[in-house]
């Protein structure tokens, strides 16, 4: 059994540990062996901590009776390079930070450890996380375990690939513009972007604070091969923390108490998104599954659907091009730098504060109108990316026309970030978006779909 423990869900692993049918040491060692076998081809993990992980597993086995109620007892995790994990690399993919290590665990990591999780490695990301692909200037490209010629997505591509290949049961990513949902979709697993303000972002290494959009657009969340594992992890990591003033004290599963099936708005290309026929079919098939489960699915679109992705790009683009790139642009690899400049220079509003403030005011208008729409349509079903998993070089050195085309394929993603909303990426490339702080409803709907899609399989590259 030890040879295939990495093939189980975290729920199954925890049950075996509880019954003493498998030790935590055996479980961690199985994943470390799997890392040795598969990481050289995939390049998902940039650093492992085998000795520390095994030592933690031994200590946990010695305390079995007092640990069995921990929700993540003994579960092997990978953590995105962006997170602070005490003593481990925190490079952001930059050669200039190659020797940087975190002095302490950040709050999310502490919560995972307190829940029994065991970290086995840090995962690759593109330079400073700004890409729908995972190509690091320092560590190279992460490949998709299901097809090594294809991308694992980004920016949490290393974590998605680690989970897909069985190197970790669950992984932690961050979603500022699709960075959990895109890699989950491209790798054929599940990913949860919680509402902004749900999960604390409180680094222990400089810079401790970011631009204004970080508070209302970014969200840390899990990737896994089943929705139950996402929910367990989400309940562990969510909750207010004083080090992140944007976090709020709202019950983790608010919106999942009455058992009613909310109305679902089916939205395909109202955002101006380009959507291939294959993705349209997957979307319609998912809608049919929800209908079979008792949901009312109607064709509808959020207000300001086409404008919302552009406002996201204007806010992010102005912050990046006017403040970020002059500060750190020279540290980026050529491919990552060109991607950012090509994408966000299109939407840069310039140095005049009036235009940037105008975009923030427009964001609030859109947020207010969409919130009203979602009172009648609490869930929105739409694609993540508008195309199936592309090749590894799909976003490499694109000209202006090709850059616009790429953005157009991603338009269903970024309005979610603009409006601070939660979204569940399904393993078929479709997402279920909910009202802010109503993660319970999207998880409930996702479980209905998972009954047909099934638990995501482990891929052997």
Catalytic residues: 80, 155, 179
Q: How far is CA 374 from CA 77, 98, 302, 433, in A?
A: 35, 45, 8, 10
**One-letter-per-residue 3-state SS of 337-397:** HHHHHHHHCCCCCCCCHHHHHHHHHHHHHHHHHHHHHHHHCCEEEEECCCCCCCECCCCCC
Say what the alpha-carbon torsion angle 84, 40, 332, 212 is, to the nearest 10 degrees: -40
CA 454/CA 456 separation, integer angstroms: 6
Nearest to 36 by CA among 203, 217, 166, 177: 166
Question: For 156, which DSSP code?
Answer: S
Nearest to 412 by CA among 306, 278, 314: 306
Question: Token pair of 274, please?
Answer: 């380009």
Phi, psi of 293 (to 5 degrees): -85, 0
């Amino acid at each position: 059994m030890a040879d295939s423990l990495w093939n189980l869900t975290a729920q199954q692993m925890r049950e075996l540990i509880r019954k003493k049918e498998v030790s935590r040491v055996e479980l961690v060692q199985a994943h470390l062996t799997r890392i040795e076998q598969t990481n050289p081809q995939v390049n998902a993990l940039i650093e492992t901590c085998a000795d520390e992980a095994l030592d933690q597993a031994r200590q946990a086995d010695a305390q079995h009776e007092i640990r069995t109620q921990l929700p993540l007892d003994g579960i092997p995790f990978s953590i995105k390079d962006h997170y602070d994990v005490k003593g481990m690399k925190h490079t952001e993919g930059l050669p200039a930070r190659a020797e940087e290590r975190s002095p302490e665990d950040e709050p999310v990591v502490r919560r995972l450890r307190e829940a029994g999780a065991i970290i086995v490695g840090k995962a690759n990301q593109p330079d400073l996380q700004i890409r729908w692909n995972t190509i690091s200037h320092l560590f190279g490209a992460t490949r998709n375990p299901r097809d090594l010629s294809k991308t694992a997505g980004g920016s949490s591509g290393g974590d998605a690939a680690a989970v897909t290949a069985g190197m970790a049961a669950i992984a932690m990513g961050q979603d500022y513009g699709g960075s959990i949902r895109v890699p989950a979709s491209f790798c054929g697993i599940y990913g949860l972007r919680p509402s902004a303000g749900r999960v604390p972002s409180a680094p222990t290494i400089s810079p401790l604070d970011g631009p204004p959009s970080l508070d209302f657009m970014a969200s840390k969340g899990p990737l896994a091969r089943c929705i139950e594992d996402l929910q367990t992890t989400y309940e562990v990591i969510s909750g207010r923390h004083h080090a992140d003033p944007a976090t709020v004290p709202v019950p983790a599963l608010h919106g999942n108490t009455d058992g009613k099936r909310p109305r679902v708005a089916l939205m395909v290309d109202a955002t101006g998104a380009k959507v291939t026929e294959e993705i349209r079919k997957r979307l319609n098939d998912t809608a049919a599954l929800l209908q079979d489960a008792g949901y009312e699915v109607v064709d509808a679109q959020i207000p300001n659907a086409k404008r919302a992705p552009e406002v996201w790009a204007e806010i992010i683009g102005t912050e990046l091009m006017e403040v970020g790139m002059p500060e750190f642009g020279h540290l980026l690899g050529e491919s990552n730098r060109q991607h950012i400049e090509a994408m966000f220079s299109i939407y840069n509003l310039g140095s005049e504060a009036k235009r940037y403030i105008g975009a923030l005011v427009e964001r609030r208008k859109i947020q207010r109108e969409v919130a009203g729409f979602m009172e009648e349509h609490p869930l929105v079903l739409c694609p993540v990316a508008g195309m199936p998993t592309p090749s590894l070089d799909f976003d490499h050195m694109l000209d202006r026309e090709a850059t616009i085309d790429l953005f157009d394929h991603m338009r269903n993603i970024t309005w979610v970030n603009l409006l601070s909303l939660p979204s569940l990426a399904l393993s078929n490339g479709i997402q279920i978006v909910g009202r802010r702080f109503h993660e319970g409803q999207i998880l409930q709907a996702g479980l209905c779909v998972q009954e047909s899609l099934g638990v995501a399989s482990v891929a052997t590259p």
